[in-house]
Structure 1
Amino acid sequence: MRPENLSEIQIDALRELGSVGAGHAATALSQLLDHMVDITVPEVRLVPVSDVPMVFGGPETLVGAVYCRMLGDIAGSMLFIAPQKALLALVDMLRSREIGATKTLNAEEEALVTHCASILISAYLAAIARMADINLLPSVSAFAFDMMGAILEVASSESGMKVDTAIVVLTSFSDEHAAVDAALFYLPDPDSLEVLLGKLGIV
């Protein structure tokens, strides 16, 4: 099954998976940081891979990205992406700083973003694994800061699969002071997507 052929019911199921994963990620992140961080999934959409850069303004938009492969019963890859301004604001939020305080990222802050994204990705995959009764884990995550088009090109090459459509899980981080918008991009192997939907009973 190809992602662009999904029905509204199937998209709703993927949205529910995203919401469950976001809830678990928010709990884990809040415990790690010792202050409340809420994570919500306002929208899930299907986007042709060629149009993915337009989600954040175009292929030349500077973004921070965390990439990993999916390991287990289904194949695919995950990308966490935040535009530069949102990325810096996310670091401020994670560091309990005033939004706008962070101007550039050092190695420690890149590691913090990678850890945050890994928590979100792991929670999302854990939600999929529980609800579909499958084994699913993320690979080791890698951080990159580059133009959106370059990030996507590398991710597509690394996946080793012909993926035409991405499932975009828009993701909002918020605390008592600010909100930051980012996104998870799920690049599914078409055969694996059919297996997943079958396990969820919504083929």
Structure 2
Amino acid sequence: MPQFQYDQLNDMHIDVLRELGNIGAGNAATALSTMLMQSVQMSVPKVKVLNFQDLTNILGGPENIVVGILTHLHDDIQGMIMFILEQKFAHVVVNILLNKEINDYTQMTEVDYSALNEIGNIMAGSYVNAISSLTGLKINIMVPSITIDMAGAILSVPAIELGMSGDKVLYIEEDFIGSSESVRSCMLLIPEMDSLKLIMERLGIEI
């Protein structure tokens, strides 16, 4: 039997993923509000199945500097989550969380990187908890790793993983809206195909 591919997802599957994104975004907004000690709202997530090659254009081109936070999923669900954040996101979070002023990623210290990594851990946990609570599946996440580099270089890591599942990716985009700033977050949800099928089956959706 041919292996299921991301580009075989239909509108119903996308609607389910969008709802998971909505719940995960709400969880993330609540967690970030607590951590940053200010109100954080989230826009309605945009969920798309994209050609992997198109991602670099969405992210501003292969040479655009972005923040990549990668974590792997294990137990009942195998795969990875990668957050790709604008530099502005990193600056705003570090400025608020550590009460310091940075305007360029070259000014960031190891402490700043650690703070951003913890944000990524919280965001990944928010989405994983949403999936777990709705499906009853046990999902754990590995300690995330963080890189600030050109978009093309950062995307080369999940590209290797995606080579096993075709050239499509589940892309979720949303805006974090704070008291004075709005910054974009992009997430690549990359479950292994058997794991994606299991998620849909637990939600009563054929795939």
Q: TM-score, normalised by structure 1?
A: 0.89
Q: d(CA) in 2 for partners of 1:188 and 1:4? A: 14
Structure 1 consecutive aligned stretches of length 4 or more whose deviation exceeds 6 Å: none
* Residue 62 (structure 1) shift: 0.9
- The change in CA–CA distance for 1:180 and 1:160 in structure 2 (over 3 A counts) is closer
Partner residue of 1:18? Answer: 21
Partner residue of 1:4? Answer: 7
Say if 1:40 and 1:171, in contact at 8 Å, map to a contact too.
yes
Q: Structure 2 counterpart of 1:112, which letter?
A: A
* Residue 135 (structure 1) shift: 0.7
Tell me whether 86-95 or 65-74 shows the greater mean CA deviation: 86-95
Partner residue of 2:164? Answer: 162
Partner residue of 1:114? Answer: 117
Q: Which runs of 5+ in 1 are unaligned?
A: none
Correspondent of 1:55 among 53, 58, 64: 58
Tell me whether 122-131 or 42-51 shows the greater mean CA deviation: 42-51
* Residue 61 (structure 1) shift: 1.3
Matches within 5 A, 1:26-105: 26-95=29-98, 101-103=102-104, 104-105=107-108
Q: Secondary structure at the match of 2:39?
A: coil
Q: Structure 2 counterpart of 1:140, which letter?
A: V
Q: Structure 2 counterpart of 1:171, which letter?
A: E
Deviations 1:91-139 (A, max 9, x none): 33545678xx533322111111111111111110110111111111111
Q: d(CA) in 2 for partners of 1:120 and 1:142? A: 13
Q: Structure 2 counterpart of 1:102, which letter?
A: N
Partner residue of 2:146? Answer: 143
Q: Secondary structure at the match of 2:205?
A: coil
- The change in CA–CA distance for 1:35 and 1:42 in structure 2 (over 3 A counts) is same
Q: How many residues align structurally? A: 200
Partner residue of 2:133? Answer: 130
Say if 2:162 and 2:169, in contact at 8 Å, map to a contact too.
no
Tell me whether 137-146 or 106-115 shows the greater mean CA deviation: 106-115
Identical amino acids, percent of aligned pairs: 30
Q: d(CA) in 2 for partners of 1:44 and 1:188? A: 15
* Residue 191 (structure 1) shift: 2.1
Correspondent of 1:184 among 182, 187, 190: 187
Q: Which runs of 5+ in 2 are unaligned?
A: none
* Residue 79 (structure 1) shift: 0.4
Q: Secondary structure at the match of 1:162?
A: coil
Q: Secondary structure at the match of 2:77?
A: coil
Say if 1:53 and 1:149, in contact at 8 Å, map to a contact too.
yes
Partner residue of 1:152? Answer: 155
Deviations 1:69-108 (A, max 9, x none): 111112111101113234323433545678xx53332211
Q: d(CA) in 2 for partners of 1:91 and 1:25? A: 17
Say if 2:65 and 2:151, in contact at 8 Å, map to a contact too.
yes
Say if 1:92 and 1:102, in contact at 8 Å, map to a contact too.
no
Q: d(CA) in 1 for partners of 2:199 and 2:172? A: 17
* Residue 160 (structure 1) shift: 8.2
* Residue 59 (structure 1) shift: 1.6
Q: Secondary structure at the match of 1:129?
A: helix
